[in-house]
Amino acid sequence: MADDYLVRIGKLIRTARQSRGWTQNHLAEALGTSQSAVNRIERGNQNISLEMIARISEALDSEIVSLGTGGPMHLRVSGGRQLSGSIDVKTSKNACVALLCATLLNSGRTVLRRVARIEEVFRILEVLASIGVRTRWINDGADLEVIPPADLDLDALDTEAARRTRSVIMFLGPLLHREERFKLPYAGGCDLGTRTVQPHMSALRHFGLDITATEGTYHCEVEPGITPDRAIVLTERGDTVTENALLAAARHDGISVIRNASSNYMVQDLCFFLEELGVRIEGVGTTTLTVHGIKHIDRDVDYSPSEDPVEAMSLLTAAVVTSSELTIRRVPLEFLEIELAVLEEMGLDHDRGPEYAADNGRTRLIDLTVRPSKLQAPIDKIHPMPFPGLNIDNVPFFAAIAASAQGSTLIHDWVYDNRAIYLTELTRLGAGVKLLDPHRVLVEGPTRWRETEMICPPALRPAVVVLLGMMAAEGTSVLRNVYVINRGYESLADRLNSVGARIETFRDI
């Protein structure tokens, strides 16, 4: 038994060392020992003390062993199984986090229905709780109740939780109405290269907000009496910058016009929610939003965020790569139409059920049945555009689909500095993915997927794409450290298991 543990610990150390790109010599040097000792440890042939494990963890900057349930979560995938039946799409991470930030506009009680129970939401809840907002899950954990205090305690803000999200940047819009001076930590989120906050700064300047960024902190000051005297033209059509401008405009006692606004799904959900708060918005779904703000908002509201188009795309991709017939229920059609048009051209056999309204009464949903199909690579490149275009977060899924199709597909992810690079991780599963430059990959299909063991790429969608490749591969694959997936997907493994996948969740020792 003890020997078995030594072998398992040795394997963990080897995986962590390799993922850092270190040789055994390199690690030996850091530990002040010999390469042969490291070799023995990695093979499980050496008794190893807790102190040594701690030193190795420190040297590799990786938690090798953890006890209890707090340690990193991993997935063991028995692949090559077809899926069947039907699966529901959950509410979207990106709308839920925007709405949670928006609750800071309201002195009343907010209830958000069927909020996705995902790590990104948990982090924002931790941040809200740290500054005095009362939040609790109600109705057997299905819904969330949020009650802000009269005064926020921003000095107590949980910076550690805040830094793990990108979404905390959306505190700027609401806070500028509540505080004259405040600090926020730099926004985190997926490791996708530089993600500028400049557009946020220039949009919010119209409301008197001045931000100086120093050593990991945004220092924010609000000059009273400054209000938009002309249209706010966003320098780029980003989703969160549009949301921040909307959040600021919602409590500006007057009319704000936002041009070059994103009309993406999370922005529309935020607009519907603001309307519930009594804010009138013209142009929802277009690139010009006219916002009739209200100085004080004090309403008890109840809102149901809509379903996640990116999760719908993920589930659709799971069906494609495993050649399965699967019904995906509650698909927000408007936000998946272009993806479906491209897939139709590629030969995807599918059926669309009749449209029905989401619980917010506004978003149009369908049930979508996908069948095993012989796909051909698309003639044109796959590239994203701000809505209405192929969704930026759906691009990585086309890499897995292209790998299952006949022919070569060019994927151009112009948006993020290094997300396309992560797609080359699919080569470890047998896919033909060639990096042409940091933004473009050429995928050669079809693929004979093969099992592998690897650490999750540090970006949500590429990580899920790797998981889906593992589901397609015969044999047992292991995906380590899946926090990044749990940031955006609720109980993904269990839900995929309910339609026939076999994915086991485990933690170190």
Ligand X SMILES: C=C(OP(=O)(O)O)C(=O)O
Ligand Y SMILES: CC(=O)N[C@H]1[C@@H](OP(=O)(O)OP(=O)(O)OC[C@H]2O[C@@H](n3ccc(=O)[nH]c3=O)[C@H](O)[C@@H]2O)O[C@H](CO)[C@@H](O)[C@@H]1O
State the residues that interact with ligand Y by CB under 6 A: 94, 97, 166-167, 195-196, 236-241, 266, 386, 392-393, 415
- Distance of CA 53 to CAs 66, 241, 481, 509, Å? 11, 44, 18, 13
226 exposed, middle or buried (CB, 10 Å; 0-12, 13-18, 19+)? middle
Of 94 and 260, nearer to ligand X (C-beta) is: 94
Report d(CA 241, CA 289) in Å as an integer. 13
CA-derived radius of gyration, the chain: 24
Counting contacts by CB under 6 A, is residue 488 touching ligand X? yes
Of 226 and 233, nearer to ligand Y (C-beta) is: 233
Of ligand X, ligand Y, none, which one sits near residue 266, judging by CB under 5 to 8 A according to partner kind?
ligand Y
The CB-of-309 to ligand Y minimum distance in angstroms stands at: 11
Of 462 and 469, nearer to ligand X (C-beta) is: 462
Rounded to 5°, the CA angle 170-173-177 comes to: 140
Report d(CA 343, CA 323) in Å as an integer. 14
Of 188 and 278, nearer to ligand Y (C-beta) is: 188
Closest C-alpha among 438, 482, 435 to residue 460: 482
Of 398 and 449, nearer to ligand X (C-beta) is: 398
**Which of 393, 413, 425, 451 lies at the binding interface for ligand X (CB under 6 A)?**
393
Listed in sequence order, the residues at least 6 apart from 72 whose beta carbon sits closer than 8 Å to its beta carbon are 63, 66, 480, 481, 482, 483, 507, 508
Of ligand Y, ligand X, none, which one sits near residue 462, judging by CB under 5 to 8 A according to partner kind?
none
The CB-of-141 to ligand X minimum distance in angstroms stands at: 23
DSSP assignment letter at 85? S
The CB-of-312 to ligand X minimum distance in angstroms stands at: 13
Closest C-alpha among 75, 80, 189 to residue 454: 75
Of ligand X, ligand Y, none, which one sits near residue 386, judging by CB under 5 to 8 A according to partner kind?
ligand Y
Question: H or E stretch including 127?
Answer: helix 119-130
Listed in sequence order, the residues at least 6 apart from 197 whose beta carbon sits closer than 8 Å to its beta carbon are 169, 187, 211, 213, 218
Of 119 and 451, nearer to ligand X (C-beta) is: 119
Could you tell me where the DSSP H helices lie in 131-288? 159-163, 172-175, 198-204, 239-250, 265-276
- β-sheet bridge partners, residue 91: 307
The CB-of-93 to ligand X minimum distance in angstroms stands at: 6
Of 26 and 166, nearer to ligand X (C-beta) is: 166
Residues 65-104, one symbol each (x = binds ligand X by CB under 6 A, - = not), give ----------------------------------------
Residues 184-203, one symbol each (x = binds ligand X by CB under 6 A, - = not), give -----xx-x-----------
The CB-of-27 to ligand Y minimum distance in angstroms stands at: 35
The CB-of-462 to ligand Y minimum distance in angstroms stands at: 12
Of 81 and 461, nearer to ligand X (C-beta) is: 461
**Which of 26, 113, 166, 205 lies at the binding interface for ligand X (CB under 6 A)?**
166
Strands 349-352 and 475-480: unpaired
The CB-of-488 to ligand X minimum distance in angstroms stands at: 5
354 exposed, middle or buried (CB, 10 Å; 0-12, 13-18, 19+)? exposed
- Of residues 442 through 461, those in contact with ligand X by CB under 6 A are 460-461
The CB-of-414 to ligand Y minimum distance in angstroms stands at: 8
Note the residues at the interface with ligand X (CB under 6 A).
166, 189-190, 192, 393, 460-461, 488
